[in-house]
Amino acid sequence: MTRKQIIQHIKKKKSYLCIGLDSDITKIPRHLLKYKNPILEFNKQIIDATHDLCVAYKPNIAFYELYGSKGWQTLEKTIAHIPSGIFKLADAKRGDIGNTSNMYAKAFLENMDFDAITVAPYMGEDSIKPFLEIKNKWVIVLGLTSNQGSKDFQFLKSNKKPIYQHVIEKCMQYGSPENMMFVIGATHEEVFRDIREFCPNHFFLVPGVGAQGGDLHKLSQFGCNNDVGLMVNATRSIIYASPEKDFAEKAREEALSLRKIMRLYI
């Protein structure tokens, strides 16, 4: 999917919502356990209830590879159920030497036909470049993450700049706004404006809204550019909005509430 297509979908739907599909068998409504594949049924009902309100879905690969071959089959069937035109993002956080990254790129971006994959940049350019070589696909680099442990390393200073800034600025040299995005956590709204200043054109994938407490208004004010430039991810607040039979309906209500705010910034 090209940058132009992403922007068109955002403007058409008046939404830059990405919904995480981190589907946990211990958290889905109990009535679904009667199905042969409860997680797949859960995912399909969430997708059916929300696909007109979001521009992307983001399965976290760990929640599927946990189950071995059956989990991979569930992931493939989940991806197949997502309507065309919606951005499919593999939250895999891969990052290894070049020949290994090349295999990861082929696995997720070619064989499984995801539009994008999250990548850890610690090993540098040769661990990222193989993903960038596949046309009309996206690398989403971990820039500044939303978890509490992000403060352990990402804010350390080197030459008066935090490490996360060095990472983002260096990776901007590897790719372009046409094939690279950055993860910028919504829980760091205090630096969102600064990051947008030195990284004005790239899209940001923004986790941390909803259950983690990120402020959608503030990150939209500080993070939007002329093309919106954001995909804001919400997972638990949407997919686990209800533990009952009305879970899909409640998921839709939560997605609608987020899109209502997003419409103000498009």
- Cα 100 from chain centre: 22
| The token pair that represents 199 in the structure block | 């990284």
pLDDT given for residue 150 in this prediction: 87
CA torsion angle 57 44 111 235 (round to 10): 30
pLDDT given for residue 59 in this prediction: 98
pLDDT given for residue 43 in this prediction: 98
Query: What stretches of 106-246 show up as alpha helix (H) in DSSP?
Result: 125-132, 150-153, 163-171, 189-198, 216-223, 236-239
- Give every CB contact of residue 232 below 8 A, 6+ residues apart in sequence: 16, 17, 18, 186, 206, 209, 216, 219, 220, 258, 262
| The token pair that represents 174 in the structure block | 């590897």
As averages over each run of 10 residues, the pLDDT of the chain (266 residues) reads 96 97 97 97 98 98 97 98 97 92 96 97 94 96 91 92 96 97 89 94 90 82 94 96 97 97 95
pLDDT given for residue 210 in this prediction: 67
The residue segments making up the domain with residue 163 are 3-265
- Give every CB contact of residue 97 below 8 A, 6+ residues apart in sequence: 123, 126, 127
Neighbours of 62 (CB within 10 A): 12
Give the torsion sign (CA, 156, 160, 162, 163).
negative
Single pTM value for the model? 0.95
pLDDT given for residue 189 in this prediction: 80
Task: Domain count for the chain, please give it.
Answer: 1
Give CA angle at 202 (198, 204), nearest 5°: 100
| The token pair that represents 222 in the structure block | 């500080």
Active site residues: 93
- Give every CB contact of residue 40 below 8 A, 6+ residues apart in sequence: 74, 77, 78
- Cα 3 from chain centre: 15
Residue 115: give its domain's CATH number: 3.20.20.70
The residue with tokens 């590879």 is: 65
Q: By CB neighbour count within 10 A (0-12 exposed, 13-18 middle, 19+ buried), where does 124 fall? A: middle
